[in-house]
Amino acid sequence: MIQAAIFDMDGLLVDSEPYWREVEIEVFRTVGLEMDDEMCKRTTGLPTDAVVRYWYERHPWHNRSLEEVDAEIIQGAYDRIGRHAGPMPGVPAILELFRQQNIPMAIASASPMHLIEAVIDRLDIRSYFSIWHSATLEKRNKPHPDVYLGTARKLGVDPRHCLAFEDSGNGLKSAHAAEMLAVAVPADYEFNDPKFDIATLKIPSLAAFQREQLAELQNQLSFAIR
């Protein structure tokens, strides 16, 4: 049966993507790169250092190091998300659902640990989770499976008995590579993108996940094991 539910954080539990884009636009402007929301959406789900490298390779700059730009984006996002971001639709209900089913919950995020801590306190959801884990503490970040495998290891459960929730294509690849059941929760603008076809289930928001979907996934896992 499902032994744990593991959640991505940015754009899934917390409505943080607008703040990431806002900060990216401001910081990249300091190196002469004029960004807009559509450009920012190209790198949704990538670790911040990968976002910086992506744009440096396409629009090189020389006045600031990549590490400095990376650090400023993370700090700016940390400040704004910690002060302003709210939960995504359906967050309280889905956490209560898994709590009622006595299924342990964890966070597996590409964001650094201090940002994860800021978000769970901002949303007042710390008590729901057994652990939270950052891919920055692993050898490789998403789309590699390391953070999901590390989270399952910390929980003491088999990754193949875990249910992962992801909103980005790279995050979904990470969970899928860890051999977990994966629920994709894409944003409206990319809901029909084929990159989400590898998901076990695709829903428009966490609010759409009900007890019936959980029972169906439990059955799928039981059948696969048999």
Side-chain-side CA neighbours of residue 157 (13 Å) = 24
8 in catalytic set: yes
Catalytic residue, candidates 8, 15, 146, 167: 8
- Nearest 10 degrees: Cα torsion 93, 161, 203, 130: 30
Q: Tokens representing 10?
A: 């940015």
Cα dist. 130→6, 7, 107, 147 in Å?
10, 12, 9, 15
- Helix/strand number for the chain, H first, E second: 9, 6
- Which residue, 122, 124, 174, is CA-closest to 6? 174
193 in catalytic set: no
Catalytic residue, candidates 10, 70, 146, 167: 10
Q: How far apart are CA 43 and CA 60, in angstroms?
A: 17
Which positions are annotated as active-site residues? 8, 10
